[in-house]
Amino acid sequence: MQYIKVDNGTSIAQTAVDMIVQAIQQKPHCVLGLATGSTPIATYKELIKRYEQGNVDFSQVTTFNLDEYYGLAASHPQSYHTYMYHHLFKHINIKKQNIHILDGTTKQIEKHCEQYENKIKACGGIDLQLLGIGRNGHIGFNEPAEQLQPRTHLARLSKETVQANSRFFTNKKDVPQYAITMGVRTILAAKKIVLLAEGHDKAEIIEKLFQTGITTDIPASFLRLHHDVTVIVDERAGSKVNTAAKELR
């Protein structure tokens, strides 16, 4: 794993966007895997800026989002559909038909998940997958558990995740308990993975990511099986990692 520690969230965004823009310039029809949450917001802002400056063209780019809350319609203010259009898609020249986000209202969950996997394959696989990390080590909504699911599936959110997500909902009882998420294998099948972590509350999990072995207790630890992962942290998220860790794979 490559480990990049930068000063702050703005520098995380710039470093991540340099990598995304490079991927698009090298392959204009590239396939991006996208994440939601607080951390990537600055990255999407920076991407929009580069687009407005004429440095990047999304007209041939395809995207697949990692996950979507189950039970929320696309139009719900807290859905990841809404998030993605608000923070990125409505500001850039991506084609609507090239945007893929899981449907949080599907009744045919298994079929929908399989179709999502097939669409990723049909597009040639994900070239660059952007990831955040939960304080509990989740990636997408693959929560710590005795067993992890390899493929896109319906996941029950951990108490900790429901609690973390509740900050976005006025009413606690509206916080979704389930989500549909890419599985660990779906994520690991991406050609390149860029994981972002910002802030003190990620310091402990980033330390664990580098210090412990591969364990289902920390789903992100499976990233150590991948040959091209870059972890970008700010000073605070990287405050517990000693520099030797950057050589870890």
Binding site for ligand PGA (CB under 6 A): 37-39, 132-134
C-beta contacts of 203-208 below 8 A and 24+ residues apart: 203/236, 203/237, 203/238, 203/239, 203/240, 204/135, 204/240, 205/133, 205/134, 205/135, 205/136, 205/137, 206/133, 206/231, 206/233, 206/237, 206/238, 206/240, 206/241, 207/240, 207/241, 208/137
Selected catalytic residue, list 81, 112, 138, 153: 138
Least distance between ligand PGA and beta carbon 146 (Å): 20
Selected catalytic residue, list 67, 68, 127, 234: 67
Helices (H) and strands (E) in the chain, counts: 7, 10
Least distance between ligand PGA and beta carbon 8 (Å): 15
Selected catalytic residue, list 136, 204, 207, 235: 136
Is the CB of 70 or the CB of 98 nearer to ligand PGA?
70
136 an active-site residue? yes
Is the CB of 170 or the CB of 243 nearer to ligand PGA?
170
Least distance between ligand PGA and beta carbon 218 (Å): 13
Question: CA-CA distance, 227 to 154, in Å (whole number)?
Answer: 27
Is the CB of 119 or the CB of 200 nearer to ligand PGA?
200
Q: Give the total residue count for the chain.
A: 249
- Of the candidates 123, 135, 180, 184, the one whose C-alpha atom is nearest the C-alpha of residue 157 is 180
Is the CB of 3 or the CB of 44 nearer to ligand PGA?
44
Is the CB of 61 or the CB of 133 nearer to ligand PGA?
133
Least distance between ligand PGA and beta carbon 148 (Å): 15
Least distance between ligand PGA and beta carbon 126 (Å): 17
Instruction: Please check whether residue 151 is in contact with residue 115, taking contact to mean a CB–CB distance below 8 angstroms.
Output: no
Residue type, 210: F
Helix (H) or strand (E) holding 84: helix 80-87
Residue type, 232: I
Tokens of 222: 């499976």
67 an active-site residue? yes
Selected catalytic residue, list 143, 153, 165, 234: 143
143 an active-site residue? yes
Tokens of 20: 């995304």
The catalytic residues are 67, 136, 138, 143
